[in-house]
Structure formats: C-alpha cells, structure tokens
Amino acid sequence: MGGSRKHVVMLPFMAQGHFIPFLALAKQIQQRTGCTITIVNTPLNIQYLTSTIAKDSSKTSPSKSEIRLVALPFNSVDHGLPPNTENTEALSTPQIASLFRSSRSLEPAFRCLISGITAEEGRPPICIVSDVLMAWANEAAKVVGTVNISFNTSGAYGTAAYMSIWLNLPHRSLGGGIKEEFSLPGFPDSCRFHISQLFPFIRAADGTDEWSRIFQPQLSLSLASSGWLCNTAEEMEPQGLEILRKLVKPTVWCIGPLIPPSMLDPSPSSGFAGRTGKEPGVSPEKCLEWLDSHPKESVLYVSFGSQNTISASQLMELAMGLEESEKPFIWVIRPPIGFDLKGEFRPEWLPDGFEERMDETKQGLVVHEWAPQLEILCHKSTGAFLSHCGWNSITESLSQGVPIIGWPLAAEQAYNSKMLVEDMGVAFELTRGVQGSLEKEEVKRVIGVVMETSGKGEDMRKKAVEIGDLMRAAVKEEGGHKGSSVQAMDDFLSTLCS
C-alpha cells in the first residue's frame, strides 16, 4: 500500500507518429519528477515500444528504463480487421476507421488497470495522459478520482483546423451544399480554406457517417479534459496557438517539439538508435556514405511518413519528375494505393530500369519501405524534403533548417501544409491527396524552385533555419534560463504534483 512514487499512466493512439512523441514525453516526465510512468497499449504495440526503449537505453544509458509498459487485451477482429492489426501501419482509410472503433475494446482492461493501481498504491495515478484521439480515458480517469490530460501529438494550427472542421462540418453547414472556398469557425475570416483541403472522407462527412461518429465524440471529450499538452512551441506557431486556445478552453501547455534532443543540440552525438523501432530498408551507414558523396544541400529527401502512399499514376509521374529534375534524391518507396503496402514492390510501378539507372548514375537512392529519416535530415547534403506534412516530419525537417515540398495526404496534413506555406514561408505545395493527377513537369518545376540556391528556394531555407532556431530556444535549459517549452513542462508538472 501507498507506493512512495507518484504515478502517471499514458495512453497513446495506435500509430507510429503518436508513439514517438508519447515516449519522448514519458521520458521527460520521468526525468523531471521521478514519477513512475506506465504506458499502456495493445500487445503488439507494447512489443514495439519495449524494443524501442531497449535499443534506446543500450545506446544512451546503461540503467534500466523506469518506464513500465503494459499490454491490454485488444480486439480488432470484431471490427472487421485481420488478426494482429494493432496500429495504422499499411492500413487503408476504412481500416483506420475500424482501428479507431476497436480502440474502445481497450477500455474495460484500462479501467481495471487504473483501479488496480489505485488500490495497490493507496491513491490514484496523479493523472492519465491520453491521446486527443483516445479521450474516452477522460471518463475512466473520473471513476478513480484523477484527472485526464489530453496530449495533442500534432501542431496547433493543423489541429485547430481539423477540430474546427469535425466539430462544425462548415463546408456543409453553410447551406447550399459544399462550397469551393470557406472559412472555419475560430479562424479569421481572411483565412480561406479550399475544398481540395478536405480529403474525400472529410468531404463526405455529414455528422452521421462513421468518421464523424469517431471524431466528434473524441474531440468533444478531449475538450472536457483538465488540460492539453501540445507538441509545439509557443514561438513556432503564435497564430495557430491563438486559434487553438479559442477552441480549447482548458490550459494548453506547449511542451514541444518532442524530437530527439540531439537534433536540437548538435553536441551530444548520441545517434538515433531505437528511435523508429523499425528496420530501415537501407543501413544508416550506407545512407550517410551516399549522402557524403553529394554536395551540400543538393539532395532531395522524399518520404510520406509511416503509413501513407500515393496512387500508381502519381508514383510513375513522381519517378519521371525526379529523374528529369537531375537532382540527387533519396526516396522511400512503397507499393501504391490499392496494394498491400508491405507486399512485394513491382518493377512495373516505376519507369523501365529506373532503380538500376538511379543506382548506376548515383542520382537516386531508392529505399524500400523505411529509411533512417533522422540521419538523412541531419546530413549537410540534404537540401529539401518532399513530405506528406506529418507533424513529426515537419519538426524534424525544420529543426535542421530543411525547407519542405508539401504533398499532404491524410488527417490534418493539409492544414499543416497551409501553415508552412502561408504563415512560415518554409514550404511550397506540390499537390494534395491521392486523387489528383500529377504531371512530371510540375514535379520538376517545384523541385527546381525549392532547391534553387537563390530566390524563393533560398528564402525558404533561411526561414526554415529561423524556425529551427526558435525550436532550439524553446527547449533550451541553461544556467537559470528556461526556454518556453521547458517552462511550460515545469508549469504543467507543478500543477500536477501540487
């Protein structure tokens, strides 16, 4: 009875892009407070997190990690998913909806777990930190007499737009059907959104569809939590935060960006072991050797994150555009939409002899499935990143002053991209989604603009460096001085521990 340490229980959504910041947050809370941290998830994801933590601690510290990992029974088969489907990797949009629905199957065991901790330790955990998308934990927290804090693993602007859309469905509620252009509740009228920034599943949403029934209750519940943690820094997104705080009434603590400390402070060169938990399709050494053979800021890195891919025709045009741009590139390649993303890659999806030619000429390094992204972005030869605008990719890229070619594909990425282009001036958008046609000429043109060493390309690079500096300042702690994100973390923790 009465464990001496306070306890924090954390519940991430089942996606790679969410585990990464959750783990980083867990480590920070643990290091700053000495609390016991328990992260809960499905059995397969707990296996993944266990190996990630093991690799990480073997690299950075010999001591055993203090983070406890607990697997809860999970049932996605009743929701139509194949056995062992436990995260978003390689899932189609309808399957992701099923995964969301099945996340509720964790709830009974989650409630038992926190009741058990409460009984054993003689007091409840000091808080539950649940993913914004798993806000059902709010109700479970109340039952044991603790608070739930929502953790938003993405940025402020994109989340505010996504939330405003789901809670208002403004493209419909304005009347007269779907508008070509619209503004969003909470956003200034001058901030216009375009219909193409609504991916088909959002465009089809009317409040009664499956996605509305997933997002509307979870987002509403997250608004009723006792506070929000946001994976951004005050200085990075002042406008986005102003808007987010109109929508989110509980305190919002900006404690990010939660990327590996060595990306923000070049002195401890600890490498990134354990960062991804996945085996890359090429070793970091080979990648770095390849990058070493190219001039400074000359290489374009192309990747669509941990779960997205593009259509077969887009894949073909992108390949031709990359080749004809004559710029060196590293491309993380996966089968196109409609095929098993973990299945065999067929040569006919690329121009004849593409991979062999790129290998011979050294113009391109084609990496199947997964690349050591952090090592690539930190290398001086990387000059730009063609990205789907997932939040981790954005913060990792900007931390290194690498400008972005945006190709948003899902979730809130279209709004992240909008902010990068319109507010930060660090990106140029190539296209949106998997429906649109893409011409190789456009690929060439955009690569040319972003990778030029003068004009617009140079401006974007300078601005990316400035944003990287803001990030560094936010997470810096030196002498008596604390950056804004360090201070926010302390404010959050002192509220919690008081």
Q: Three-state SS for 163?
A: helix
- Select 36 or 45, whichever has its Cβ closest to ligand UDP: 45
Stretch that binds ligand UDP, among 141-149, 288-296, 298-306, 483-491 (CB under 6 A): 298-306
- What does the angle CA 381 – CA 382 – CA 388 come to, to the nearest 5 degrees? 170
Task: List the x/- string, 164-183, binding to ligand UDP by CB under 6 A.
Answer: --------------------
Smallest CA-to-CA distance from 377 within 490, 281, 287, 438 is with 287
Whole-number Å distance between alpha carbons of 480 and 404:
35
Site for ligand UDP in 391-420 (CB under 6 A): 391-393, 396
Query: Could you tell me whether strands 147-152 and 227-230 are parallel, antiparallel, or unpaired per DSSP bridges?
Result: parallel
Where does 313-453 show beta strands of DSSP type E? 329-333, 364-368, 382-387, 404-406, 427-429
Residue 247 near ligand UDP by CB under 6 A: no
Stretch that binds ligand UDP, among 39-47, 196-204, 305-313, 467-475 (CB under 6 A): 305-313
Output the smallest distance, CB 389 to ligand UDP, in A: 8
Residue 307 near ligand UDP by CB under 6 A: yes
- Select 106 or 367, whichever has its Cβ closest to ligand UDP: 367
- Select 181 or 285, whichever has its Cβ closest to ligand UDP: 285
- Select 76 or 306, whichever has its Cβ closest to ligand UDP: 306
Task: List the x/- string, 357-396, binding to ligand UDP by CB under 6 A.
Answer: -------------xx-xx---------------xxxx--x
Q: What is the identity of the amino acid at 245?
A: R
Smallest CA-to-CA distance from 134 within 241, 255, 22, 248 is with 22
How many residues touch ligand UDP under the rule CB under 6 A: the total is 20
Strand partners for 405: 386, 428
- Select 37 or 371, whichever has its Cβ closest to ligand UDP: 371
Full DSSP string of 286-318: HHHHHHHTS-TT-EEEEE-TTT----HHHHHHH
Residue 16 near ligand UDP by CB under 6 A: yes
Strand partners for 230: 152, 254
Output the smallest distance, CB 284 to ligand UDP, in A: 10
Residue 434 near ligand UDP by CB under 6 A: no
Full DSSP string of 121-132: HSS--SEEEEEG
Q: Which residues bind ligand UDP (CB under 6 A)?
A: 15-17, 20, 276, 303, 305-308, 332, 370-371, 373-374, 390-393, 396
